[in-house]
């Protein structure tokens, strides 16, 4: 159930409503918007008392009580009709500005990372991406620098001012990754690792949740529900391509998820064209399409010398390609009403 509170009520009135919701056997999740505060009450309506009495019990505080039919309660637009925005340092994700998160697939060295951070910053990126821990199909491939890589990302942030996004692979590393990262990424292979999702949520850091390789959209939204249900309202959905029968590209980047996610949920949408296509020569076209369709941010892999990259070199763009892409995106950003 969703309880919509009236504007400008006191904190005492709000606490009284929350106390009654708990008394009736539900778990309340408070979502504060610009004009309204909404409470998502999670519980079994068949075994617990009806919450609709709250409107008459607290007439000065409760505006309406609405049932939610979706399986995903808190990420649903029924729970939060307005778009959510996420503040990360001085940036706001989900607002008017289109953000670009750019950097290498893997953090390889201080020289490689700092050069990339400075290049993407100069071209207009607002976030630095880079993998300190890497999930690799083969156990013999480069697995990342671990904490050393996290420290290099922090150093790059200090030198460039770019906020940092990096991937979390293990519950055991959640606090360590949160210490260095501004946004925690959950990759496609872990999109339904529910204990990992809970651990990421409990750090309090914004979570970027990638779509699984063969994940239906409803499953993806339900995975996102784990973040909000664990008291973390800062969730971004990231489409990174799904596995299909097509072999021309590494994955099939499903841009139709942009209007679908925008309709179903209030959370910002990020598109990863690098993983999505697996080919550097397709990244620019995919970015333009994503911006035109309303994506809130792009996640792009950039490397000083893609041919020598320690992981996924074929999908990483060079500094020159990235700078050219950022220039070419400007009319698409303007046409989409973005900044």
- Rounded-to-integer distance, Cα 53 and Cα 84, Å: 28
pLDDT in tens, 299-338: 999 999 999 999 999 999 999 999 999 999 999 999 999 9
**What pLDDT, on a 0 to 100 scale, did the predictor assign at position 253?**
97
pLDDT band at 214 (very low <50, low <70, confident <90, very high): very high
CA–CA separation, 1 vs 9, rounded Å? 20
Tell me how far apart the alpha carbons of residues 33 and 5 are, in angstroms, rounded to a whole number: 11
Predicted local confidence at residue 27, as pLDDT: 87
Distance CA(243)–CA(6), nearest Å, equals: 46
Task: Provide the terminal-to-terminal Cα distance of the chain, rounded to the nearest Å.
Answer: 36
Instruction: Kindly indicate the confidence band of residue 30, based on its pLDDT and cuts at 50, 70 and 90.
Output: confident
pLDDT, mean of residues 240-260: 96
Are 282 and 273 in contact by the 8 Å Cβ rule? The answer is yes
Three-state DSSP state, 66 = strand
Q: What is the reported pLDDT for 143?
A: 87
Q: Name the segment(s) of the chain with CATH classification 3.20.20.70.
A: 86-335
The CATH T-level fold of domain 2-66 is: Alpha-Beta Plaits (3.30.70)
Q: How far is CA 300 from the centre of its chain?
A: 14
Mean pLDDT for the chain? 93
- Cα–Cα distance for residue pair 312/251, rounded to 1 Å: 13
Q: In this structure, are residues 250 and 241 in contact, taking their beta carbons and an 8 Å threshold?
A: yes
In the predicted model, is pLDDT for residue 236 greater than 90? yes
The kind and range of the H/E element at 271 are strand 269-271
Strand bridging mode 183-186 / 207-210: parallel
Model confidence band, residue 48 (pLDDT cutoffs 50, 70, 90): low
Tokens 């079994």, located at residue: 44
- State the pLDDT at residue 235: 97
Lowest mean pLDDT among 28-32, 65-69, 151-155, 244-248: 65-69
Q: What percent of the chain has pLDDT over 90?
A: 74
Q: What is the DSSP letter of 95?
A: S
Cα separation, 216 vs 277, whole angstroms: 19
Mean pLDDT computed over 11-28: 90
The answer to whether residue 161 scores a pLDDT higher than 90 is yes
Flag whether pLDDT at 45 surpasses 70. no
- Please report the pLDDT score of residue 47 as a whole number: 63
User: Which three-class secondary structure state does DSSP give residue 227?
Assistant: helix
What is residue 119's predicted lDDT score, i.e. its pLDDT? 98
Lowest mean pLDDT among 28-32, 116-120, 283-287: 28-32
- Cβ atoms < 10 Å from Cβ of 138: 7
Token pair of 41, please? 């009450």
pLDDT of 111 strictly over 80: yes
Q: Where in the chain is the domain with CATH 3.30.70.1140?
A: 2-66
pLDDT of residue 46: 59
CATH 3.20.20.70 fits 86-335, yes or no: yes
Nearest one of 136, 161, 167 to 149, comparing CA atoms: 167
Q: What is the pLDDT of residue 1?
A: 81
């Amino acid at each position: 159930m969703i309880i919509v509170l009236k504007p400008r009520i006191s904190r005492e009135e709000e606490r009284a409503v929350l106390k009654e919701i708990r008394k009736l056997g539900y778990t309340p999740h408070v979502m504060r918007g610009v004009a309204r505060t909404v409470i998502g009450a999670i519980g079994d309506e068949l075994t617990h008392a009806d919450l609709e009495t709250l409107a008459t019990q607290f007439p000065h505080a409760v505006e309406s009580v609405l049932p939610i039919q979706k399986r995903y309660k808190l990420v649903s637009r029924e729970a939060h009709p307005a778009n959510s925005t996420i503040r990360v340092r001085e940036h706001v994700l989900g607002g008017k500005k289109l953000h670009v998160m750019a950097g290498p697939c893997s953090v390889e060295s201080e020289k490689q990372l700092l050069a990339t951070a400075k290049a993407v910053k100069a071209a207009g990126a607002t976030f630095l991406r880079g993998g300190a821990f890497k999930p690799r199909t083969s156990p013999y491939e480069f697995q990342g620098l671990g904490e050393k890589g996290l420290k290099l990302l922090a150093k790059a942030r200090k030198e460039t001012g770019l906020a940092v996004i990096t991937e979390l692979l293990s519950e055991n590393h959640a606090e360590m990754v949160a210490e260095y990262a501004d946004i925690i990424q959950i990759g496609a292979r872990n999109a339904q690792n529910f204990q990992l999702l809970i651990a990421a949520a409990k750090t309090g850091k914004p979570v970027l949740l990638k779509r699984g390789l063969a994940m239906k959209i409803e499953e993806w939204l339900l995975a996102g529900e784990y973040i909000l249900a664990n008291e973390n309202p800062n969730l971004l959905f990231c489409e990174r391509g799904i596995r299909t029968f097509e072999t021309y590209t590494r994955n099939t980047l499903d841009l139709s998820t942009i209007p679908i996610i925008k309709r179903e949920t209030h959370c910002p949408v990020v598109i990863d064209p690098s993983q999505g296509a697996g080919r550097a020569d397709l990244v620019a076209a995919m970015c333009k399409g994503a911006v035109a369709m309303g994506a809130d941010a792009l996640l792009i892999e950039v490397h000083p010398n893609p041919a020598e990259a320690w992981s996924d070199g074929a999908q990483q763009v060079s500094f020159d390609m990235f700078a050219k892409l950022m220039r070419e995106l400007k009319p698409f950003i303007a046409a989409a009403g973005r900044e």
